[in-house]
Structure 1
Amino acid sequence: MAAFTVVTKVPLPAYIPPDAVVAALHAYRPLIEANPHLTSYERRAVGIEEIVDDPFFRDDGHRLQAFTCYQRITIIPGVGAWATKDVSVPCVFQSYDVGVRCRADAGSGVTVWSSYEVRRRGEINATNPADTPPPSPDDGDFELVEIASVSCGALVRPFVRRSLTTAHQDILQRIADGVGRSVGIPVWEMAIGKAGVTGRSPQV
């Protein structure tokens, strides 16, 4: 089995309260629904065998919840629907003070242990800095970070790493955008901030 870690992050604009992002993570569903591969999901009971021997789930956590997420994964990009695969992914979530832990068993021997956290900007470096959105005048002092530890077969490692990097960057950005909308920031103002255009920052 191959093991590797991917760190992904997006900056949080100054007008998005960090506590609002943590609250969205703690709700679990915004995190699930941000996955671009998701087709549907359902809540299920937590199996004791899923957590009892896994040190990933710690004593500082709260609210263990389990879901099955149904996803459509692209195997060969750009060649149509025939090159996709439908998969079901059992997930277990646990909240803690600054974020959420999630273990996803994606099948075929692929398991992902992810921590989603709000951190002060610059505390940790991204695995692929080129994939991190460029700085914006609206960036604040915090960023949304995912630290994903992956176990998978050596043959599928390149595919899993590519899929994780691209999809999870999108997940983080969707969460940030969703929180921005929930606190009353118009979509066009968020787009201006991402483009690096200066202007009056919304007051929240």
Structure 2
Amino acid sequence: MTLAKHNLHVAALIPPHLTPADVIAALHDHNTCLTLQALTTGHKELPETNPETRKDTYWYPPDLHPIKTYEVTEAVTILPGVGEWGKKYITFPSCFQDTPHGIKTRADTSGVVLRAEFRVIKGGADIGEVEGEGEGIGYAEWVLVEDVEVQCAWYMMPFVRSSMEGAHRDICRKVVEKVEMLKRQEAIVRTAAKGKGRVDSDGGQRLPDKIIYG
């Protein structure tokens, strides 16, 4: 059988108030990417990874960088415009490996193999186009990039390509936005804790910061 391959490159600028470590930590929490995929409806961790999948030379040495596998369920639209009637639910294994700069992933389903690597890299333009085409729309000191390769039978490629691009095109941006949201929530919690500390230290009553005498 003749196999076809297609590659997608997407990127998102990391704003200066976030650090590379912030984004890498979010990627190492595999729930981040698993819950941001457009097609994914659920997932659960499996006890082991298929031995054949572990042999893929795509991975860093698994003994140094362990691989975790999840059972993922996706809802794929087969017939648009008819709601649930037009969706097909599929379940497949999706593997994640933490790397120093992000993660590597591999998903296998119905004759389709999809490999995607997320990396935080130093400096670059934000180009979110297929295979790196198109104009950059900005520059930042740090950038999150995703490189995707999908492989399947040639006759399946048009549908697989469309589904893959729809699911992955916005992932980098969504990851950065989620990290920003978490940072805002942490700041709110810290502010609330400081406020409570001031009230407690004042014996349960808030003292004015400044007294003006008439």
Pairwise TM-score range, normalised by the shorter structure? 0.7 to 0.9
| Residue 62 of structure 1, aligned match among 50, 65, 75 | 65
Cα distance in 1, alignment partners of residues 160 and 53 from structure 2: 24
Deviates more, 1:116-125 or 1:95-104: 116-125
Q: Is the 8 A contact 2:128 2:169 kept in 1?
A: no
> Any idea what SS the aligned residue of 2:170 has?
helix
Aligned to 1:4: 6
Deviates more, 1:96-105 or 1:12-21: 12-21
Aligned to 1:201: none
Q: Deviations over 1:138-184 (max 9, x none)?
A: x6322211111111111121121122112112222221111001111
> TM-score normalized by structure 2?
0.75
Cα distance in 1, alignment partners of residues 170 and 162 from structure 2: 13
Alignment of 1:20-39 (within 5 A): 20-39=22-41
Aligned residue pair count: 182
**More contact order relative to length (CA 8 Å, sep ≥ 6):** 1
**Displacement of 1:77:** 3.5
Aligned to 2:155: 155
Bigger Cα Rg? 2
Q: Is the 8 A contact 1:10 1:132 kept in 2?
A: no
1:80 aligns to 2:83 (yes or no): yes
> TM-score normalized by structure 1?
0.78
Aligned to 1:91: 94
Aligned to 2:144: 144
> Any idea what SS the aligned residue of 2:24 has?
helix
Q: Deviations over 1:7-44 (max 9, x none)?
A: 11122222221211101111111111111211111100
The CA RMSD over aligned residues, in Å, is: 2.6
Cα distance in 1, alignment partners of residues 128 and 170 from structure 2: 14
Structure 1 stretches of 4+ moved >3 Å: 76-79, 123-127, 129-135
**Displacement of 1:68:** 0.6
